[in-house]
Amino acid sequence: MITTIEHNNQSYKIDLSKPLDISIPLRASQENVNAWYIDGPKIEPVTDGEWIGKVSEGASTNFNNIYFNPHGHGTHTECVGHITPEFYNINDALKHYFFIAEVVSILPEKQGEDHIITKDHIKNVITSVQPEALIIRTIPNTKEKCSKQYSNTNWPYLTEEAATYIRTLNIEHLLIDLPSVDKEKDDGKLLAHKAFWDYPKATRHHATITEMIYVDTKIPDGQYLLNLQIASFVNDASPSKPVLYKML
């Protein structure tokens, strides 16, 4: 279904029948993507004595508890409350859900034992005029990202300068296919998080970071309409479902 939308005083045509889901689904499996040294997620029926909340076990409905961590078990969107002593939650921070976004592909640069995404990487790949959201796909890009066990792998990360540059472009929503925009073990410095949110100088409470996405190689770099969907969690982060629509 082709429709025309008005956004920031501009008209865009998109095909609502062709969504491009860039989230990683959460599964009750050890094959579920995982980071931060935690066990896999669990989805289990409620039990009460001999009663089991499962139709195949005689119940009238399936009635499951779900145990997971949004930061470690899949695609999630977080607000500045992730790094502040004060409580801020993503449900209050994110009040708009459609954004003009640009997908870019970046091969991180080797620096010692690390692989980094630099300011020059970002500067050289952005072609849109004032995108509201930036979606970073790292290279190589394999479906292993949907089940990778990231703990103790020293994944690639954004430099502080790169995150600062993204902020200066007035990009409010940053999405990446890694467990964090920061180095796995950085002694709690969180330089990229702090630079992007401009914390604590002029904190951007409305800005969000989405991590652990997967942008299929079939999705070319370029401009899209992003629908950033979250669950209504009163927490610093929520599992999320970012969906792209190609501009026609």
- Predicted TM-score (pTM) above 0.95: yes
Express each pLDDT in 157-179 by its tens digit: 999 999 999 999 999 999 999 99
pLDDT at 7 over 80: no
CB atoms within 10 A of CB 203: 16
Between CA 26 and CA 31 the distance in angstroms is 10
The domain locations on the chain are 2-24+73-246
| Cβ(157)–Cβ(183) below 8 Å | yes
Instruction: Return the minimum-mean-pLDDT range out of 2-16, 21-35, 59-73, 169-183.
Output: 2-16
In angstroms, the Cα distances linking 127 to 36, 61, 222 are 34, 51, 8
pLDDT at 130 over 90: no
Q: Specify the higher pLDDT residue, 9 or 75.
A: 75
187 burial via Cβ count (<10 Å: 0-12, 13-18, 19+) = exposed
Sign of CA dihedral 82, 145, 125, 109: positive
16: CB partners within 8 A, 6+ apart: 1, 2, 3, 245
Chain length of the chain:
248
Between CA 17 and CA 23 the distance in angstroms is 18
Report the pLDDT value the prediction gives residue 22, as an integer from 0 to 100: 98
pLDDT band at 11 (very low <50, low <70, confident <90, very high): confident
Task: Output the six-digit token pair for 71.
Answer: 């930061």
Strand order in the sheet with 157-158: 109-111, 114-117, 157-158
pLDDT at 8 over 80: no
- What is the dotted CATH code of the domain comprising 2-24+73-246? 3.50.30.50
Element housing 65 (H / E): strand 64-67
